Amino acid sequence: GAVVSQHPSRVICKSGTSVKIECRSLDFQATTMFWYRQFPKQSLMLMATSNEGSKATYEQGVEKDKFLINHASLTLSTLTVTSAHPEDSSFYICSAPTHGQGEVYGYTFGSGTRLTVV
């Protein structure tokens, strides 16, 4: 089945530095990638939607300059947290829509990245 590989799984960085999270679709082409953020014991909140070859669409309240999204190819989307601060510590998850034969669509999730900013 469709697999989205997300790296790194865990990262600890110093306040003020930038962190890049990668999501790769391994056996299908992901023209769209959704990026979610999850706080402890809470639900997933959509941050932005990236589309290959065009600018990402950000949800209301998400800082575009802080959370840089790049979707330069059909198999790779990246999220860069710039000038990270402790309040950016969270669990980040990517997801790509996929198509099954005879089915409308589904979604495949990456395994998530635990970001801790110290």
Partner 1 sequence: GNSVTQMEGPVTLSEEAFLTINCTYTATGYPSLFWYVQYPGEGLQLLLKATKADDKGSNKGFEATYRKETTSFHLEKGSVQVSDSAVYFCALSAGGTSYGKLTFGQGTILTVHP
Binding residues (CB under 8 A) for partner 1: these are 6, 32, 34, 41-44, 46, 49, 93, 95, 97, 103-112, 114
| SS3 assignment for 5-38 | EEECCEEEECCCCCEEEEEEECCCCCCEEEEEEE
Kindly state the smallest distance separating residue 20's Cβ from partner 1, in Å. Answer: 18
Our CB check for partner 1 shows the closer of 20 and 114 to be 114
Our CB check for partner 1 shows the closer of 5 and 82 to be 5
Contact residues for 100 (Cβ-Cβ < 8 A; gap 6+):
106
Kindly state the smallest distance separating residue 79's Cβ from partner 1, in Å. Answer: 14
Kindly state the smallest distance separating residue 34's Cβ from partner 1, in Å. Answer: 6
Our CB check for partner 1 shows the closer of 6 and 77 to be 6
Rg (CA), the chain: 14
Kindly state the smallest distance separating residue 83's Cβ from partner 1, in Å. Answer: 26
Q: What is the C-alpha to C-alpha distance for residues 70 and 51, in angstroms, rounded to an integer?
A: 9
Q: What is the C-alpha to C-alpha distance for residues 93 and 111, in angstroms, rounded to an integer?
A: 7
Our CB check for partner 1 shows the closer of 27 and 107 to be 107
59 HSE (CA, 13 A, CB side): 10
